[in-house]
Amino acid sequence: PSSSKLLIKGGTVVNAHHQQIADVYIEDGLIVAVNPTITVGDEVRVIDATGKFVMPGGIDPHTHLEFEFMNTVTKDDFFSGQAAALAGGTTMHIDFAIPIDGSLTAGFEAYEKKAQKSCMDYGFHMAITKWDETVAREMELMVEKGINSFKFFMAYKGALMIGDELLLQGLKKCKSLGALAMVHAENGDAIDEGQKKMIELGITGPEGHALSRPPVLEGEATARAIRLADFVNTPLYVVHVMSIDAMEEIAKARTSGQRVIGEPIVSGLALDGSWLWHPDFVTAAKYLMSPPIRKQGHDKALQAALATGVLQLVGTDHCVFNSTQKSLGIDDFRKIPNGVNGIEERMHLVWDIMVESGQISVTDYVRLTSTECARIFNIYPRKGAILPGSDADIIILNPNSSFEVTAKSHHSRVDTNVFEGWRGKGKIEVTISRGRVVWENNELKVAPGTGRYIEMSPFSYLFDGLDKKDASYLNSLQAPVKRAKSTA
């Protein structure tokens, strides 16, 4: 049968807004029809999905492939990281392009090059690490190039961090462009203090990392970013929400009507930070990331908030370094490259933690692993849906089959796995990327250069009505007051 025609038969087709038993017919990388019964000719390959869930492929909103960071570079590049993703049911990701010497254009071009070996679809966020008129102008250019989100770092003092003055400029610029402002929310000044203190106390191991940047500093920066975004009246996206402290700030803001998106990541949902105290350095160091994975209790609270929509979608912050790289910090936790894996495990673990535990429905699962991401970054329903006309990025999950995570069997190039040994029910048996079956029978069929860059337009649904809201605000001011110039 033709490789460009495919029929998925008899599965439960799940969209975020509805699930039904139906067939899905695919041609040339696109979904052509979704109907209870579709009849096709012999030239069409038929995949039987009876008793299984047919769902939009995962979209990972937060990855770092071939990322040069802390004097080294992540193990996974756009090919190996994406291959791992596909093996785990993720069919698109959005990576953080980083400026070069402050130049967004140079950064964008460098990431274009890195992404040439892609085997699945991808998009870019762009980091903003300094501020001047050139950067402001380049942001416009980036939007033209299909980037609709910019990330600001409130941590990494001396490197990526910007202060409130620049953050405010950034928020305003984002608003005018219809681009989503994202923040890494930790108080960088205080972390700097905390790190010095730990070193002074002789705490140089990975546990010092967690101790130097406690949840209160994540809560602080989250609260600050939220309020500044409120002041500017523009939507905000908080990346890697790792703590109750940050989550509660988001909950509070949303309750008062503010448009704030909170992204927990799979390691924060599934793990606790006690590993950083492990007596084996390499074991401890593999769990080191920023903000740190927190104490027990934060994980369950983040799950709960995710279940009810207080948090909206799940990322990974996939940013992997192998044991040799992690060992750069053997004498000083500040030199351990920050990052954990997740791009391959996210879909399985979210299923296990959230669906198998009864916290969410299968439609919710689709929403928070795929659809909501597509809506936020304005590529829905091309992505994030199984609808006629959508890209044929599809997974088939067998709820009665099992999965297990091991570094030995995973597809990432990193030599460790923070979810090592995790077993659960719900196995993604097939992954289809733009109509091609790329993962089946535990085998990957991928080739570099087959992935496409997905342009993302500004002014997503998060911007709907903002102009009216601004107008309402102005109307409410009862100002300027008309005054006779009195002679005091």
Residues within window 297-336 making contact with Zn ion, judged by CB under 5 A: 317
Q: Shortest distance, CB of residue 145 to a second copy, whole angstroms?
A: 25
Q: Shortest distance, CB of residue 289 to Zn ion, whole angstroms?
A: 8
- Calculate Rg over the CA atoms of the chain: 23
Residue 32 site contact among Zn ion, a second copy, none (CB < 5 to 8 Å, cut-off depends on kind):
none
Give the span between the Cα atoms of 435 and 26, in whole angstroms: 6
Residue 465 neighbours by CB distance under 10 Å:
12
Q: Shortest distance, CB of residue 173 to a second copy, whole angstroms?
A: 13
CA dihedral 383, 388, 393, 395 (to 10 degrees): 120
- Tell me how far apart the terminal alpha carbons of the chain are, to the nearest angstrom: 91
- What is the Cα 353 distance to its own chain's centre? 18
Q: Shortest distance, CB of residue 168 to a second copy, whole angstroms?
A: 5
Q: Which residues pair with 424 in a beta bridge?
A: 403
Ramachandran angles phi, psi of 465, nearest 5°? 80, 0
Q: Shortest distance, CB of residue 335 to a second copy, whole angstroms?
A: 13
Residue with Cβ nearer a second copy (34 or 142): 34
Residue with Cβ nearer a second copy (73 or 301): 301
Q: Shortest distance, CB of residue 374 to a second copy, whole angstroms?
A: 11
Residue 468 neighbours by CB distance under 10 Å:
9
Q: Shortest distance, CB of residue 319 to Zn ion, whole angstroms?
A: 6
Residue with Cβ nearer Zn ion (184 or 411): 184
Residue 116 site contact among Zn ion, a second copy, none (CB < 5 to 8 Å, cut-off depends on kind):
none
Residue with Cβ nearer Zn ion (338 or 398): 338
Give the span between the Cα atoms of 109 and 124, in whole angstroms: 11
Residue 307 site contact among a second copy, Zn ion, none (CB < 5 to 8 Å, cut-off depends on kind):
a second copy
Per-residue x/- marks for Zn ion, 262-301, CB under 5 A?
Answer: ----------------------------------------
Q: Which residues pair with 11 in a beta bridge?
A: 22
Per-residue x/- marks for Zn ion, 170-189, CB under 5 A?
Answer: --------------x-----
Give the span between the Cα atoms of 126 and 104, in whole angstroms: 7
- What is the Cα 316 distance to its own chain's centre? 6
Residue with Cβ nearer Zn ion (317 or 364): 317
Residue 420 site contact among a second copy, Zn ion, none (CB < 5 to 8 Å, cut-off depends on kind):
none
Residue 459 site contact among Zn ion, a second copy, none (CB < 5 to 8 Å, cut-off depends on kind):
none
With contacts defined by CB under 5 A, how many residues of the chain interact with Zn ion? Answer: 2
Q: Shortest distance, CB of residue 119 to a second copy, whole angstroms?
A: 29
Give the span between the Cα atoms of 242 and 56, in whole angstroms: 26
Angle between helix axes 298-307 and 244-255 (nearest 10 degrees) is 30
Residue with Cβ nearer Zn ion (145 or 184): 184
Give the span between the Cα atoms of 125 and 113, in whole angstroms: 15
* CB 24 within 8 Å of CB 33: yes
Residue 477 site contact among Zn ion, a second copy, none (CB < 5 to 8 Å, cut-off depends on kind):
a second copy
* CB 316 within 8 Å of CB 60: yes
Q: Which chain residues interact with Zn ion by CB under 5 A?
A: 184, 317
